[in-house]
A = this chain, B = another copy of it.
């Protein structure tokens, strides 16, 4: 994986705690995690402040994707660098990338409103098949 390359290019080192955090994130690359769940997955062996600082670092390297769900912030590693949206399961937190993006329509609407689009968010929440069929 070129995560290490990304880090060193930004002047960051690859320490043991950092590697562990990345491991957990890679194991859950298709799932959104909260800080809490990441911390637990690390068996609380790494200080919470270190977890937060590393999320900042990964974010600074453009490796993290963040979503706000209700009042908590969720994140995952970015697999593809291009812009995309997700189907997010409210039960298990699993995510599926979708190739749909409303930007063309939004551009047209924004033009009608004389509005310059800088960014947009689109998140779809619901229930994946596994969670729906599970008893």
Interface residues of A (CB under 8 A from B): 68, 87, 89-90, 96, 98, 100, 102, 105-106, 109-110, 113-129, 132
Least CB distance from A107 to B in Å reads: 10
Q: Find chain B residues with CB under 8 A from A96 CB.
A: 113, 115
Q: How far is the CA of A74 from the CA of B53 in the complex (A)?
A: 26
Q: Which of B113, B117, B122 makes the CB contact (< 8 A) with A121?
A: B122
Q: Find chain B residues with CB under 8 A from A114 CB.
A: 128-129
Q: Is B100's CB under 8 angstroms from A106's CB?
A: yes
Tell me the number of copies of this protein: 2
Least CB distance from A124 to B in Å reads: 5
Q: Is B127's CB under 8 angstroms from A118's CB?
A: yes
Q: Is B120's CB under 8 angstroms from A106's CB?
A: no
Q: How far is the CA of A96 from the CA of B98 in the complex (A)?
A: 27
Q: Find chain B residues with CB under 8 A from A100 CB.
A: 102, 105-106, 109
Q: Is B126's CB under 8 angstroms from A115's CB?
A: yes
Q: How far is the CA of A114 from the CA of B132 in the complex (A)?
A: 10
Given contacts A106-B124, A119-B126, A120-B122, 12 further A-B contacts (CB under 8 A): A87-B113, A96-B115, A100-B109, A114-B129, A115-B128, A117-B125, A118-B126, A118-B127, A119-B124, A120-B123, A121-B122, A122-B122
Least CB distance from A70 to B in Å reads: 9
